[in-house]
Structure 1
Amino acid sequence: MAPCHGAGPDRALFAVGNPAPLRLAPSAKNSHLLVLAPLEGITTAVYRRVVAEMFGGLDGAIAPFIGTIRGLKRYAYHLRDILPEANGQEPLIPQILGADAEGVAEVSRACAGLGYTQVNWNIGCPIPNITRKKRGSGILPHPHLIKKVLSRACREGLPAFSVKLRLGLEEKDEWREVLQVLNSFDLDFVVLHPRTGRQMYRGTPDTAAYGAFLGECRHPLLYSGDIRSREDLRRLAEEYPETAGWLLGRGYLSRPVLAREIRSGETLEFCMKDIAAFLGVLSEEFLKNGADASWVLGKMKLYFGYLKHGADDTAAAMEFWGRLRGCTEWPLFEAILAGDL
């Protein structure tokens, strides 16, 4: 991480290449595995590259989902975020969203063509326009459909398979029938976010339900949901020591030193100069990838919407936010980053 008083990162660090496969063997029990959670439109290839080089601490990432597309449509546009030339060396698992068995297998095959050895199936997305199509967590009340997809996707010649899910769509005990299906297939691991789809991100994760799921799951299980500090993870790890790993999402977006804080057991410095340096490198990388400056400016506001909650100096962060959210011109944004305003 670039210190508050130091220079920016070495630009040579941002070389791209083939992402390494992220795998957990079926018998793995690694309570220290820290994985970047997928957030659509946010944890993109550019973000993953930059945050890994500037802050580190993660074992890899699950990419935002690729939707299944049938018929004459091609996957080039939808696979662009996981193209090897767009990603760095950090381990990466592509994620698939869909309820169509042949479509899931088709995307899985396309990922294999790019060199990936594992894919993750998203049956946890809570967005209503997805769930009403029986995709994401909308498929959870239909275990027979889950079995149909897994029967097609978990075959020799296709990448190894993992699954990310919620407790259910409407009810928090829908997972029981679903887990019976998951337990009957050879999966690398399972990720559970212990909320229902209808909850979206409201309320608190049901950790008791997570514990019940963990006790019945025959696969390595990763936890996802509201890990915002090393203390949050410590409490969960003490209560559920058989957990194989942890997904870091909004907590990591707010404080990208979080993974290193968890590993070191120490609170690290994360001040506004660190944030400004991060936004500067991130925006530069987006521009180098051909993005329009006005689009990048909107993205920087989106990212800082998370970062302002994790800064050490809250007052300075809110002052910075007051200038940034009204910014409409790129030169003004650069001046804000430089501290000239």
Structure 2
Amino acid sequence: MDTRITLEARARAGGAVRPVTLVAVAVIVVLAIASWFLIIRPHEELVLSDAGGHPSTPVTPGTVAAPPPANVEAMGTDQLLSEARKAMNEQRYLAPAGNNAFEFYLKALERQPGNAVATDALRETFPFAADAAEQAINARNFNEAQREIDLLAKADPTNFTLTILRSKLDAQRKLQDKEQQQATEQERQQQLAAQKAAEEKAAAEKAAEAQQASTTTPRSSAAGSTRNTASSQGAETPVAPAAAPAAPVLTPAVLIRSVNPRYPTQAQRSRTEGYVVLSFTVTAEGRTSNIKVTNSQPRHVFDRAAIDAVQRWEFKPATRNGEPVEVTLTNRINFILGQ
């Protein structure tokens, strides 16, 4: 094949494609220029007039925020955008009500639907505003958080972040209600416990006063109980015949080692006082056995402590005609705070 024919065919094909390429490039250039003059340049001019920066970029305010405009309805679109930018600079995305960036931008869109500056600013500022609403939720300022979520919904009602914020708000409200209920119930339980403790203390004091005359200390009580028990054991002791020269000689058991009971920790904390009446056997070796609680006030509060103490008591055993014998005694142990 002739090489010249091939080159000429390629040249003709290149000439057919070149005009189409030039037209496409020209269209792109025209669109870029139109975008610059219609969208980008007006936006940059507005930003520069408000001290520079993009609407979505927070700027630390240098002065205290001005009060809300007296008549927002009378403001034009440019003035609304200017006020919105000032609010952005001072990070007033959603608050205070009536003087925040979102409300200004939304009002500007009402005046001029499709306004590119307001639309872009709302979209790009949405994450910062959502963080502000979340902070209101965490601070449990629920009414303010609800207002801010509603304001966000006006800007982007389908944004999934709104679902998350609403769930957090609902969860925090339920948590606060639960905490308040728990605090109320705890206070009620404390009042009931204090009332019960006062009643038990009054009952213990009354019982102690009623038996104060008959019981003083464990030592004297034990000795007195021994004498009473000795008399009750007369039925067990063989009765001497009338003609017997002498009756059996009986000596009571004598407490020689007393161990004070341990005051229960719970009773100390609740300031509870009371007593325990015990029945027990003193063996021929002077040990205690068969320890039983015959009466206590309050019931079951001091029983274990009293039994543990009596188990360690030691006696000089009772004797009959000089021989050690078992005897049964009763004793009352008082539990009084401060003694």
- TM > 0.5 between the two? no
- The alignment's TM-score, normalised by the length of structure 2, stands at 0.20
Which has more helix, going by share of residues?
2
- The alignment's TM-score, normalised by the length of structure 1, stands at 0.20
Point out which structure has higher relative CO (alpha carbons under 8 A, 6+ apart).
Answer: 1
